[in-house]
Amino acid sequence: MRFPKLFRSIRRLSSHLLAIILGVALTVSTLRVLPSLAEPAPNSVAADTPELIAQRQSPAAAAIGNTSFVTAAVNRVGTAVVRIDTERTISRRVDPFFEDPFFRRFFGENLPQQMPSEQLRGLGSGFIIDKSGLVLTNAHVVDKADKVTVRLKDGRTFEGQVKGIDEVTDLAVVKINAGNDLPVAPLGSSKNVQVGDWAIAVGNPLGFDNTVTLGIVSTLKRSSAQVGISDKRLDFIQTDAAINPGNSGGPLLNDQGEVIGINTAIRADAMGIGFAIPIDKAKAIASQLQRDGKVAHPYLGVQMVTLTPEMARQNNSDPNTSIQIPEVNGVVVIRVIPNSPAANAGVRRGDVIVQIDGRPITSAEQLQNIVEDTRLGQVLQVKVQRGSQTQSLSVRTAELQNAS
C-alpha cells in the first residue's frame, strides 16, 4: 500500500521539477532574445534625434544654423558702412528788448549785441557706393551742416563734401577724397524684396558704432503719408529690425548682404517699426544728385486726402460742415496752393479728382505717384467731380521749389 503512495509522490515531485526546469529554460531563452531585439533601438533613436531637435528649433535658429548668414552678409558689406558726424553753427541775436534805449539807460551800454554762437552736432550713417569715395546717406543727416566728417570703420576720418541733397526723397550724396580703392557696398534690387524676407540693419545708432540688428521685412510700399511724413514722396520698406537715431542713412541688407534699402525713419510712438527707402529709388536719385546736385520734382499744387463714399456721407451729414462733397471714390482737394498749376487750371477746394489721363484715381498715394512719374511741363487731363457735375481740366505740371 505504501508503494503506490510513494510512486504518486515521486511523480508529483517530478512534475514540479519539470515545470521548474522548463521555466528556467524559458527565462534564459528570453534573456538571450531581448538584448538582440533591444540593440537597434538606441541606433534608431540616435538616428532620429537630429530630426526631433530640428523640429523643436525656432525658425530663426533653423535658418541661421551653425554658420550665421548674418555674419556672412555683414562681412560682405565689410568696411563700406561709414559714420557721419556733422556740425552746424547757429548765431543768436539779442532780444530787441535789450536794444531799447530806455532799457539801456538803466542797465548800461555794455550789453551784448549778439548771443554766443551755438554748435549743433549730429550723427548718422552712410555707405560707400563708388570706389572714388561717393557716400549715400539721408538728406536730413547732412542738411544745413557747416562741416561733415566721414569716419571709416578702420578709424580714418575725412572731410565730406555734400554733392547734392534732395529733401523730397530724403537722400544725399557726399564725396570724400580717400583714394580710388575704397570698399563698395553691393547694391541689390528692392523690386525682388518680399514680405517676410530677412532684413539686416547696419549703422551707428546712438553713437554705438558698427551695430547690426536683425529682423524681417514687415510690409512693402508703406507710403510716407501713412508714416506721418507728409512732405516726402516715398513708399517705404517697413521692417522690425531695430532702427534708432544714428541709424539714418545706413544700409538695410538682405540675407545675401546686398543693400535693399536705406534706413531713414522711425515712429516715436511705436516699437519695432522702422522704415527704409527702397534702393531702386535711391539709385535713380543718387545718379541725378551726382550729376546735377539736385532733383526736379513735378507738382500740381493741391493738398488732398483719399475719399470714399462712406467718408463723404459722414461729412455731408454733419450739420457743421463747410462744404458738401460728392459721394464717390477718388481724392478730395482740401486746399489749392495760390499760383500753382492746379490753381491756374481752375481746380477748386472740394473738387474730387476721379481720373488722370483716363486712369481711375482711388487714393492720394496713387495720384502722387502719377505726378512724380511725369515730366516737368507735361499736361495732365484731370477729371474732377464738382457737386453733381463733372469737369475736365488741363493741368501743366511745374517744378516743386520747396519741399516744405
| Residues with a known catalytic role | 140, 170, 248
End-to-end Cα distance, the chain: 131
Positive or negative: CA dihedral 91, 92, 94, 97:
positive
Spatial distance between the Cα atoms of 152 and 342, rounded to a whole number of angstroms? 47
Distances (CA, A) of 56 to 12, 67, 197, 337: 62, 19, 22, 60
Residue 181 in contact with residue 223, Cβ under 8 Å? no
Residue 186 in contact with residue 76, Cβ under 8 Å? yes
Q: What is the CA radius of gyration of the chain?
A: 37
- Residue that has been written with the C-alpha cell 575725412 in this structure: 158
Distances (CA, A) of 123 to 88, 114, 223, 289, 345: 12, 28, 26, 22, 44
Spatial distance between the Cα atoms of 206 and 213, rounded to a whole number of angstroms? 13
| Assigned C-alpha cell, 281 | 529709388
DSSP 235: E
Spatial distance between the Cα atoms of 258 and 247, rounded to a whole number of angstroms? 17
- Residue that has been written with the C-alpha cell 544725399 in this structure: 172
Spatial distance between the Cα atoms of 177 and 130, rounded to a whole number of angstroms? 12
Amino acid 393 reads: L
360, 399, 359: which is closest to 377 by C-alpha?
Answer: 399
| Assigned C-alpha cell, 207 | 553713437
Spatial distance between the Cα atoms of 177 and 77, rounded to a whole number of angstroms? 20
